[in-house]
Amino acid sequence: MFKTEKTLRPADDGFRMPAEWEHHSCCWMAWPHDEIAWRGRHAEIKEVIASLAQTISVYEPVRMLVPEQSLEEARKVCGAGIELIVQDLNDAWARDTLPSFLVGPGKNLAGTDWKFNGWGDMEYCNWDRDQHLAESLCRKLEIPCYKAPIFNEGGAVHVDGEGTVICTRNTLLNENRNSGKNEAEVAEILCRYLGAEKVIWLDEGYDQDETGGHIDVITAFAAPGKIMHLSCDDPADPNYSIFRENIRVLESSTDAMGRRLEVIRIPQPPARFEGDRRLAISYMNFYFANGAVILPVFGENTDSEVIQIFTRVFPDREIVPFKRAATIFHGGGGIHCVTQQQPAL
């Protein structure tokens, strides 16, 4: 039953956010309706989003939220097999604007609705409608909607499903999101609204990442006690010192269960620019589908090495290279940023 919970917290009711490798009932996506983020690539991104949806649909159902005025276009571009659901929205960033799905006692589903202000009111976005998407979807699904008291986006946090959250200070403690709140206060809220026990903080994310340092661009849990992080071998690259420090922190950290983390280094693809703007292209912005990993690749020499690493790390999953991911990164995000898994019950 849909209800908004403004005072109760999910953890108090026994809810937790599952790890992304746990089984999904479907993948949610949103149609790239607003041109502003795509900087002249709006027509192309529609085809790329449709292609990604079709790729994921081989492994799990895909449900696409689409504004009514774009429904006919989306139906034509997406083709058969993608369920289209009418929803007023701004853009395609489902990871950041849809609820963080939770599972609880009795195999019940709920959602955390984070406060959303367009990544700190970023220049290249409209967000007047997207700030209401999480509650709207919870209402459609008739599930409880827990209203979190901080600004956050789904791509700013990763969980292992066993009590551990990882995020960056540069995002969640930024003045443009949670001014006046300290690290301990934000950590407590994250734990209570994700059903977790411990937060591991990294200082910074990817150099020039437009989101302000989202965790899902640089690192991801691969399994309990095991985490992957980008590595950079060029001392002249700003990411060199950022990633070295992050890896140092991770290697000296334990998770909520007391396990020391095993860190797997993933090569950073060569830097790519659009004018003076560096694109935050990354292999870490992938999507766990049922039985597969949808992995962004960029036509770089590092692609084959990364595919081999992912094949070793996930021997029970098919590694599916997605070759059109760079277009999504031109808009400021990647595969993980435009997808949101709904856990199976």
Mind telling me the catalytic residues?
337
Does residue 46 contact residue 189 with C-beta atoms inside 8 Å? Answer: no
How far is it, in rounded angstroms, from Cα 89 to Cα 138? 15
Q: What angle do CA 328, 324, 42 make, to 5 degrees?
A: 45
User: Which distant-in-sequence residues (6+ apart) come within 8 Å of 309 by Cβ?
Assistant: 264, 266
Residue 65 tokens read as 């939220």
CA quadruple 190, 8, 135, 102: dihedral sign: positive
Exposed (0-12), middle (13-18) or buried (19+): which is 1, by Cβ within 10 Å?
exposed
Residue 139 tokens read as 């209402």
> What separation, in Å, do the N-terminal and C-terminal C-alpha atoms of the chain show?
16
Q: Which amino acid is at 249?
A: V
Does residue 262 contact residue 273 with C-beta atoms inside 8 Å? Answer: no
- Tokens 């071998």 locate to 233
Does residue 58 contact residue 52 with C-beta atoms inside 8 Å? Answer: no
Element (H, E) at 178: helix 175-178
Q: Give the residue among 229, 167, 172 at the shortest CA–CA distance from 198.
A: 167
Mark out the alpha helices in 14-144 (DSSP H runs): 42-57, 71-78, 94-97, 118-121, 133-141
Q: Give the residue among 183, 226, 11, 217 at the shortest CA–CA distance from 112.
A: 11
CA dihedral in degrees (301, 307, 309, 313; nearest 10)? 160
How far is it, in rounded angstroms, from Cα 204 to Cα 190? 18
